Amino acid sequence: MGQEIAQARFGSEDFRVFRERLRAETQLLGEWLRAGRVVDGEPSIGLELEAWLVDAAGRPAPVSEQVLARVTDARVENELARFNLELNTDVHALAGSSLQALEAELTGRWRQAQQAAAEAGCRIALVGILPSVREADLCLANMTPSPRYAALNEQVLALRGRQPLTLDIEGAERFRTERHDVMLEAATTSLQLHLQVPPRRIAAFFNAAVALSAASVAVAANSPRLFGRHLWQESRIPLFEQAVACTRLEPGGAGTLARVGFGSGYARDALYGFFVENRQHHPVLLPELQDAPVEALAHLRLHNGTIWRWNRPLVDVVDGQCQLRLEHRVMAAGPTVADVLANAAFFYGAVAELAESRPGLVEELPFHIAEQNFYAAARYGLDAEVEWLDGWFGRLGDLVTERLLPKARRGLVRAGVVEAEATAHLRVVEERVASGRTGAAWQLAWLERRGGDDAALTRAYLDRAADGEPVHRWPL
pLDDT of residue 247: 56
Q: CATH for 12-467, among 3.40.50.300, 3.30.590.20, 3.30.360.10, 1.10.3720.10?
A: 3.30.590.20
pLDDT of residue 252: 38
pLDDT of residue 257: 83
Strand segments, DSSP code E, in 321-451 are: 321-332, 385-387, 393-395
Under DSSP, the state recorded for 264 is: S
| Residue 39 half-sphere exposure toward CB, CA atoms < 13 A | 17
pLDDT of residue 29: 98
pTM: 0.96
Cα(453)–Cα(417) distance, integer angstroms: 43
Bond into 335 cis (ω within 30): yes
The Cα diameter of the chain in Å comes to 62
Under DSSP, the state recorded for 468 is: -
The answer to whether the beta carbons of residues 441 and 361 sit under 8 Å apart is no
According to DSSP, the β-strands at 44-54 and 123-125 are antiparallel
* Residue 292 CB neighbour total at 10 angstroms: 14
Closest alpha carbon to 189 in 107, 124, 99, 113: 124
Residues in the chain, pLDDT under 70 = 1-8, 247-256
Radius of gyration of the chain (CA): 21
pLDDT of residue 256: 62
pLDDT in tens, 320-369: 999 999 999 999 999 999 999 999 999 999 999 999 999 999 999 999 99
The answer to whether the beta carbons of residues 438 and 221 sit under 8 Å apart is yes
Closest alpha carbon to 337 in 81, 105, 121, 75: 105
pLDDT of residue 9: 77
Q: What are the distances in angstroms from CA 75 to CA 106, 112, 300?
A: 10, 11, 23
Q: Strand, coil or helix: what is 52?
A: strand
Domain range list for the chain: 12-467
